[in-house]
């Protein structure tokens, strides 16, 4: 059961501002989805290794310098730019 | 030159043939595709962005053909892209308000390979927001419609791609498939769609949803067309560390091989309660046809199949919550105006930019990864994922491919499953296991219901087993010729 306090705790972790209406709705929806996934508990898995990925193997390569996007192209989509930097609201008062 | 409407009726392979023989020019084909698109988009809504400059690329293709310098069979063929592919100079939204205004500074690998082989990109196609959905109703834009019945959904999340191919606005399209997002809309729209083996196609330059599951694949009217598209985009890419450094097979050769001598596994678990009777009879009829063509059919068991949806919605949402942390209004896309602090800017940008399903999945994914719940949910789901993979390994020790329905039902009506997220998730019950196990899956049209809705059969293959899937799909295409039927638009 995910109550509204729990919804607020998760939303803070996820950097999401939720309205009262969203908090209420998500409390019900997440509870229902979690109830559905509870069925996994009936499977004994203590001696089963987890699958984290199905890729063939880790692809290691040399860490070498290569051409990348020019700064002005990389910055073209930024909502706010000062000089060659992305500008954001202040972090500390 | 045939009339424009007839050009659009050609399959991708037939158009490629005519381009090669210079019976049709790329400019003619591209103008026909753009004209068709403009004419029927007010009904279908498959495109988020139409590239009116596509004829320039077509003209360049014709110039290459005139000099005998065609780059590939695809040179000059009009293709559409799900709006999840990053495209230089063309807007890319991933179906989300949070990426409104984003015009990428580069092409992803699959797109770059299509362009290098001469394909003409006519535009970007509608999708569920961040590829999360099975109906294309999870969108801030106008949802695309199913060309076979405009009151029904095209499926999702690559629903715009499936609708555009079915409505003959493009000769083929690229989609992505994390839990069925290529195969389910292909089935619902009566086209062919392939989710390749995990690692077969690079995801560099594809907006990430769940990185251990996401795969890029082709969608087109025939299996042969999908084989041509996969040939163009498959292969190793150092820019995607999960891309496999393995040789790419000759897929066109596989298309002509036929079903003879192949052993098909039919899992009891894929024919149980909840399966629409007309879907079941269509799939069983397809199996009978393949058996008549020389395939052997055998019962197999996938005992953990019923746990796939639960495991998937933990793994996929966990990975999504991490991947979508990057949308914070800082470097690209939308930023909520007027925030007084950085933290407030994050919270408001994400609150305003993401739709309800994306928020729901971010919340679920954040919860299952959070302290105290990780072992009970995320680790548990990864262990179940191993059990699901073992089921397939066991079955594939006896058969060449597994056959079943792609979707439990034909296309449903708008709004039918929207109120209950869990009901929508269960639309992917037969497609999700492929992604968890990293296997290739092909959906091919096999029947129409009494109401005129398409039914798809799914072939699941061994890792790198795309050639077997293409042999089976093409055998069925030749036998049934369903791709020659036109939606009533």
C-alpha A63/C-alpha A78 separation (Å) is 28
pLDDT of residue B272: 87
Model confidence pLDDT, tens digit, residues A38-72: 999 999 999 999 998 887 666 778 889 999 899 99
pLDDT score, position B421: 87
pTM above 0.95, yes or no: yes
CA distance B252 to B134: 30
Residue of B24, B36, B186, B214 lying closest to B108 (CA atoms): B214
* Residue whose token pair is 């390979």: B113
Report CB contact under 8 Å: B342, A91: yes
pLDDT of residue A56: 63
pLDDT of residue B2: 61
Q: What is residue B44's predicted lDDT score, i.e. its pLDDT? A: 98
Helix (H, G, I), strand (E, B) or coil at B173: strand
pLDDT category at A93 given cuts 50, 70, 90 is low
Select the residue from A4, A5, A8, A10 to test the B interface by mutation, using most B Cβ atoms within 10 A. A10
Q: Is B157 labeled as catalytic in the residue annotation?
A: yes
Query: How far B366 CA sits from the closest chain A CA (Å)?
Result: 6
Cβ atoms of residues B363 and A14 within 8 Å:
yes
- Between positions 15 and 74 of A, the ones with CB within 8 A of B are 15-18, 22, 26, 29-30, 32-34, 36-37, 39-41, 43, 45, 48-56, 58-59, 61, 69, 73-74
pLDDT (tens, 9 = 90+) of chain B, 489 residues, equals 566 669 999 999 999 999 999 999 999 999 999 999 999 999 999 999 999 999 999 999 999 999 999 999 999 999 999 999 999 999 999 999 999 999 999 999 999 999 999 999 999 999 999 999 999 999 999 999 999 999 999 999 999 999 999 999 999 999 999 999 999 999 999 999 999 999 999 999 999 999 999 999 999 999 999 999 999 999 999 999 999 999 999 999 999 999 999 999 999 999 988 899 999 999 999 999 999 999 999 999 999 999 999 999 999 999 999 999 999 999 999 999 999 999 999 999 999 999 999 999 999 999 999 999 999 999 999 999 999 999 999 999 999 999 999 999 999 999 999 888 888 888 899 999 999 999 999 999 999 999 999 999 999 999 999 999 999 999 999 999 999 999 998
Give CA–CA dist B426/B184, Å, rounded: 12
Q: Which domains does chain B have, with CATH numbers?
A: 4-290+401-484 (3.90.1300.10), 305-390 (no CATH)
Cβ–Cβ contact A87 with B under 8 A: no
Phi, psi angles (nearest 5°) of residue B193: -145, 135
Residue of A nearest to B387 (CA): A48
From the CB of residue B79, how many other CB atoms can be counted at a distance below 10 Å? 27
Structure-block tokens of residue B116: 């290098």
Q: Is B288 helix (H, G, I), strand (E, B) or coil?
A: helix
Average pLDDT, chain A: 92
State the Rg of chain A over Cα.
Answer: 22
Tokens representing B228?
């041509």
Closest Cα of chain B to A90: distance in Å?
Answer: 5
Domains, chain A, in order of start with CATH, read: 1-43 (1.10.20.60)
């Amino acid at each position: 059961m995910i109550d509204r306090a729990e919804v607020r705790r998760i939303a803070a972790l996820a950097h999401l501002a939720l309205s009262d209406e969203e908090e209420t709705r998500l409390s019900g929806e997440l509870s229902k989805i979690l109830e559905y996934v509870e069925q996994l508990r009936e499977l004994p898995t203590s001696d089963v290794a987890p699958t984290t990925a199905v890729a063939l193997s880790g692809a290691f390569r040399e860490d070498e310098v290569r051409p990348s996007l020019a700064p002005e192209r990389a910055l073209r989509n930024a909502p706010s730019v000062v000089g060659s930097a992305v500008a954001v609201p202040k972090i500390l008062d | 030159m045939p009339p424009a409407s007839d050009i659009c009726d050609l399959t991708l392979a037939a158009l490629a043939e005519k381009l090669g023989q210079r019976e049709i020019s790329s400019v003619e084909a591209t103008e026909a595709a753009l004209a068709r698109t403009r004419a029927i988009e007010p009904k279908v809504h498959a495109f988020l962005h139409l590239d009116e400059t596509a004829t320039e690329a077509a003209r360049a293709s014709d110039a290459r053909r005139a000099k005998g310098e065609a780059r590939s069979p695809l040179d000059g063929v009009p293709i559409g892209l799900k709006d999840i592919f990053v495209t230089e100079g063309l807007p890319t939204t991933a179906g989300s308000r949070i990426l409104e205004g984003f015009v990428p500074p580069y092409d992803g690998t699959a797109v770059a390979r299509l362009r290098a082989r001469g394909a003409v990109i006519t535009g970007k196609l509608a999708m569920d927001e961040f590829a999360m959905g099975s109906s294309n109703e999870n969108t801030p834009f106008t949802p695309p419609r199913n060309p076979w019945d405009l009151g029904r959904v095209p499926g999702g999340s690559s629903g715009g791609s499936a609708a555009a191919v079915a409505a003959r606005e493009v000769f083929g399209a690229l989609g992505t498939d994390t839990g069925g997002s290529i195969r389910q809309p292909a089935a619902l729209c009566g086209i062919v769609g392939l989710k390749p083996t995990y690692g077969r196609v690079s995801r560099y330059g594809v907006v990430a949803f769940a990185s251990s599951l996401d795969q890029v694949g082709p969608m087109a009217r025939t299996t042969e067309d999908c084989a041509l598209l996969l040939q163009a985009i498959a292969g190793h890419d150092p820019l995607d560390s999960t891309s496999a450094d393995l040789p790419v097979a000759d897929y066109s050769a596989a298309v002509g091989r036929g079903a003879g001598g192949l052993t098909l596994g039919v899992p009891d678990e894929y024919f149980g309660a909840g399966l629409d009777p007309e879907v079941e009879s269509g799939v069983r009829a397809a199996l009978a046809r393949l058996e008549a063509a020389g395939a052997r059919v055998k019962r197999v068991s996938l005992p953990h199949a019923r746990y796939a949806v639960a495991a998937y919605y933990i793994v996929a949402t966990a990975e999504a919550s991490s991947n979508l942390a990057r949308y914070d209004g800082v470097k690209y896309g939308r930023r909520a105006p007027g925030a007084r602090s950085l933290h407030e800017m994050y919270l408001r940008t994400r609150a305003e930019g993401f739709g309800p399903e994306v928020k729901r999945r971010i919340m679920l994914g954040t919860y299952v990864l959070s302290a105290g719940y990780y072992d009970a949910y995320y680790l548990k789901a990864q262990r179940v994922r191993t059990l699901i993979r073992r089921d397939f390994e066991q079955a594939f020790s006896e058969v060449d491919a597994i056959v079943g329905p792609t979707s439990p039902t034909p296309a449903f009506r708008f709004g039918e499953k929207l109120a209950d997220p869990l009901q929508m998730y269960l639309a992917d019950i037969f497609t999700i296991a492929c992604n968890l196990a990293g296997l290739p899956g092909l959906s091919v049209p096999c029947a129409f219901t009494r109401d005129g809705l398409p039914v798809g059969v799914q072939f699941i293959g061994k890792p790198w087993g795309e050639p077997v899937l293409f042999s089976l799909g093409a055998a069925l295409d030749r036998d049934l010729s369903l791709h020659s039927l036109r939606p009533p638009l």
